[in-house]
Amino acid sequence: MPRRSKGLGFLFNKDKQRKMEIKNYLFYILLLSFFISGCADLIENTVCFRGRCFYVELAQTPQQRQQGLMFRVDLEADKGMLFVFEEEGIYPFWMKNTLIPLDIIWMNKNKEVIFMAENIQPCKIEPCPRIDPLLKAKYVLELNAGTAGEIGLSLGDQLKFNISK
């Protein structure tokens, strides 16, 4: 059987192949951008210190702040609750109806630690004692008991937040 000349067809095949490569490349870039934008939501509402980040629930309204971590039977090691106040003030806390021991960290508007109450146990007597820093804070972070010591947190340390408004 005689061989047919391809003529210039081989050039068009290369163009088709290159177009397909470009389409695949653009598809992967688009896929990656969707993945990255989805991951941004995963890192929102975090509080970090020295590379250790905690995913936090936000307590921004009076109702959320009143409820706090009441009636929770556990708290994952990388989770916590961040209380966000409109302005700096003196905000005492108590452990009424809180079932798990906590570290409670008060921070000023610059996110610097100004007071810490570590390994605070659930309240078993009425009235529950208040933990009162007697210092003005804008943020209060609750983590599992022992976490502050584990990460080496001290007075004056500054934390980084990535929180939604």
Beta strands in 33-147 (DSSP E): 46-49, 52-59, 79-89, 93-94, 102-107, 113-120, 130-131, 137-144
Integer Cα distance of 14 and 163 in angstroms: 50
Q: 3-class SS at 88? A: strand
Same domain, 78 and 125: yes
Same domain, 30 and 51: no
pTM to 2 decimal places: 0.73
- Domain region containing 137: 46-162
Number of structural domains (the chain) is: 2
pLDDT surpassing 50 at residue 41? no
Question: By CB neighbour count within 10 A (0-12 exposed, 13-18 middle, 19+ buried), where does 137 fall?
Answer: buried
Same domain, 65 and 16: no
Q: Calculate mean pLDDT across residues 131-145.
A: 97
**For all residues of the chain together, what is the average pLDDT?**
85
Report pLDDT for 18: 73
Residue 126 lies in a domain: yes
Same domain, 66 and 20: no
Cβ neighbour number for residue 100 with a 10 Å cutoff: 17
Same domain, 86 and 72: yes
Same domain, 125 and 55: yes
Assign residue 110 the CATH number of its domain: 2.60.120.1140
pLDDT in tens, 60-118: 999 999 999 999 999 999 999 999 999 999 999 999 999 999 999 999 999 999 999 99
Q: In the structure encoding, which two tokens stand for residue 79, read together? A: 């989770």
Residue 3 lies in a domain: no
DSSP code for 125: S
Same domain, 134 and 57: yes
Integer Cα distance of 140 and 90 in angstroms: 11
